[in-house]
Structure formats: C-alpha cells, structure tokens
Amino acid sequence: MGSISCYAMVVSGLESIAAKEIESVLGAKITRKIDGLVTFKIDGPDPDLFDLKTTEDVFLLGWGTDALTYRASDLDDIRKWTAKEADWTRLISHHHSFKPKTKGKPTYRFITQMDGEHGYHRKDAQKEFAKGLARFIPPNWRMVEDNASVEFWLTINEKTAVAGIRLTDKNMRHRPYKVAHRPASLRPSVAACMVRVAELKPHHKVIDPMCGAGTILGEYQIYAESWRVPRAAAWGGDIEQAAVMDASANTRKLGKIYLNRWDARWLPLQSGTMDRIICNPPFGKQISSDVDINKLYRGLMIQFNRVLCQDGKAVLLVSDYAAIKAACDNVKWKLEKKFRTQILGQNAVLSLWHKPGPEGTLQGE
C-alpha cells in the first residue's frame, strides 16, 4: 500500500506536543510542523489514529503549499494543484480502508476554511477546489450539505494551504466523559497537551487546584490509563460549588479524584505533598476588572509552592505571561518549557515550571 501522508489540525502553538504523541502512538514520521498543522507519514491505516488526544482533526493529505500570494491568481493554482498534485483516487481508497464504506450511494461535500486577508472569497477558492476534484469523484456519488461519508477539505491560513480528505469527526475533539460544560472550560486537546508536558509518572500525586469542569483531571485520567499500572489518586477543586459538581459529574467514571470546594490561595493540604500541579487559572476576560491579576497569581503561586514537593513541577496556562512569570519568579521556580498558543481567541502561554530541590532557596513556605 505504501506510506500514507496525513495532516493533523492542532491548537496553534502546541504542534510539537501533538507531534510527539503522533510519533509515539502511530510510529509516524513527522514531515512538517507549521502553525496549527502537523504533517506526517504512516505505514498503513492504523485505527489508533482515532485515539489521538492532542489533535483536533486528522486528514489524508492531498497537497499542501506555503506559497499562496493572497492574489486572485491563487485561485488558478488551487484548481491546478488539486487536479494534478494529488492522487485523489488513491486517497479515496485509503479513506475506505480507515472508514469502511457506508451502505447505499456514497455522499460527499466540500469544506473550505480561510484565515487571512486574501484578494478572493472563500467561496471562490472552494469553487476552484471543486473543479480540480471533479474528475476524481465517481459519477454515482451524491453531493450533500451535511453528514457526508466523504469530506474534501481545503484549509487556507495566510500563505499556507492544505487540501485533503477528513478522516476524523467531531468525536476527536469532544470527549464522551464531558457531560457537564462550563463557559471557560478548556478544549480537551489543550488539556491533553498540558498533561503531556507535565512529565508524569504513575506514583505522582497530581492536582488541579482551579479545576472548573475538570477537563485537565479528565485528560490526566485518560492518559494515565495507558500506564496499565495502579496510579496515585488525583486532587482537584474550585472556588465555585457548581464547578466542583460539574467536575465530579465529568470525571466520576475515570479514576479516583478527591474533589473539594476551596479557595486555591488557602489549600487544605499538607505542605510538600503534591508532585505535579496542572492548572489553568482564570485569565483575561474571565477576571472581573477589580481583581488585581498580579496579586491573584502571586497569592496562588505562594500556595502552589507550599503544597508542591521539592523537585516537583507545575504546568500553567494563562494569557498574562508577565504576571505568572513574576509570581513564579517570586517563589524561585525555574522555567523549563514555554509554548505560545491561543485560548478562546486570546493569546496565551502554556509553561512548565520546576521547583528546585533542597539546595534552592524557597520563598513563601
């Protein structure tokens, strides 16, 4: 069958974390990482692809470019590349080997996404994409608006474009465990990235002190399942009782988690007992204007530092990186990794911090 080229859409800035998961779960060869996209090759139609957690969607790759000009001449190129650069007949047969044909006449649809200020409309790009594909689509296939068995996608992001056939569906982004939703809840793929940055071991005691709907704790439990050995119980809490109840509904079936209502600046936990803190404190628009974010983060980090063991690590996701950095510097944590990303339309930074061992001088204890 030869190798199969694919691309995964991931949350911008988290490509290298997703690439690691793709490599380890699928034994894939990563071919490129660009804004929001990871391209890779696999040896065959591996069903584990549907179990990736850090990706939002996965496609068979038809063609890709980073040489769009923003001018209307791109439209000719989109048609030509679609008609000549990809073997769509082979891709359709790969699609059937991942997802067996449904009964009855196959249905299809075109989907075009476009970001950036281009000198043409998204609909015009889709028209040329469809023209390029026309001769590859069997005549008995029926075009539909929704629920197509085969989706042909064209995604344009500034100078970059990729075209392909979608393999996954919304089930990749949504998790069946998430029955209760909260407005500031993280995308599961982002929480899954945070968990993978935390360098976890089965004996680690993990806590999300501001857990909201419990997405981080849920993704931790799913990740820890793969260890196939007993793991320590996890901890979580939130200042809002409704959040604690939602987190409890969402994580009930996933593993042992102690959930509490608390103010994360005064945690009812013994000092030095947690190995990993993974947390997405409220940020930006989620905070009312009378809250001083520097003061909030400073108070939180003094408390997080108290409960974290020597040599422990914390993964934090915030939009105001300067404020969290000042708070982490205050407790003498060392920055180990930093990823610039976008959360709910805002710039954000996912960072990994290390609390140094006994020789480090610690404040806030």
Ligand X SMILES: C[S@@+](CC[C@H](N)C(=O)[O-])C[C@H]1O[C@@H](n2cnc3c(N)ncnc32)[C@H](O)[C@@H]1O
Looking up tokens 């422990």 gives 312
Part in contact with ligand X (CB under 6 A); list of ranges 44-52, 142-150, 209-217, 328-336: 209-217
Based on CB atoms, which residue is closest to ligand X, 5 or 319? 319
Tokens of 105: 């006449």
CB of 18 to ligand X, least distance (A): 18
Based on CB atoms, which residue is closest to ligand X, 150 or 243? 243
Nearest residue to 167 (alpha-carbon basis) of 188, 143, 150: 150
Based on CB atoms, which residue is closest to ligand X, 82 or 185? 185
Cβ neighbours for 289, distance < 8 A, ≥ 6 positions apart: none
Q: Are 318 and 346 in contact (CB under 8 A)?
A: no
Tokens of 113: 């996404």
Q: Are 218 and 177 in contact (CB under 8 A)?
A: yes
The reply to whether 263 sits near ligand X by the rule CB under 6 A is yes
Per residue in 136-149, is it b (16+ CB within 10 Å) or e — as a string? bbeeeeeeeeeebb
Binding mask 154-183 for ligand X (x = CB under 6 A): ----------------------------x-
Based on CB atoms, which residue is closest to ligand X, 120 or 304? 304
Based on CB atoms, which residue is closest to ligand X, 167 or 193? 193
Category of 195 on φ-ψ map: left (φ > 0), alpha (ψ -120 to 50) or beta: alpha
Question: 111 pairs with which residues across the strands?
Answer: 153
**Considering only residues 34, 42, 232, 239, which one is a binding residue for ligand X as defined by CB under 6 A?**
239
The helix (H) or strand (E) run that includes residue 321 is helix 321-330
Q: By CB under 6 A, what part of segment 266-305 binds ligand X? A: 280-282, 286
Based on CB atoms, which residue is closest to ligand X, 37 or 293? 293
CB of 249 to ligand X, least distance (A): 12
* Distance separating alpha carbons of residues 210 and 237, to the nearest angstrom: 6
User: Which residue has the CB atom at the shortest distance from ligand X?
Assistant: 212
Q: At what angle do helices 122-133 and 73-84 cross, to 10 degrees?
A: 30
Based on CB atoms, which residue is closest to ligand X, 35 or 240? 240
CB of 212 to ligand X, least distance (A): 3
Number of other CB atoms surrounding residue 291 within 10 Å: 11
- Total residues at interface with ligand X (CB under 6 A): 21
CB of 70 to ligand X, least distance (A): 36
* Distance separating alpha carbons of residues 283 and 140, to the nearest angstrom: 52
Based on CB atoms, which residue is closest to ligand X, 5 or 189? 189
The reply to whether 112 sits near ligand X by the rule CB under 6 A is no
CB of 220 to ligand X, least distance (A): 11
The reply to whether 184 sits near ligand X by the rule CB under 6 A is yes
Part in contact with ligand X (CB under 6 A); list of ranges 68-76, 91-99, 161-169, 208-216: 208-216
**Considering only residues 215, 303, 305, 351, which one is a binding residue for ligand X as defined by CB under 6 A?**
215
CB of 79 to ligand X, least distance (A): 42
Q: Is 347 exposed, middle or buried (0-12, 13-18, 19+ CB in 10 A)?
A: middle
**Considering only residues 213, 257, 324, 348, which one is a binding residue for ligand X as defined by CB under 6 A?**
213
**Considering only residues 6, 78, 243, 254, which one is a binding residue for ligand X as defined by CB under 6 A?**
243
Binding site for ligand X (CB under 6 A): 182, 184-186, 210-213, 215-216, 238-240, 243, 263-265, 280-282, 286
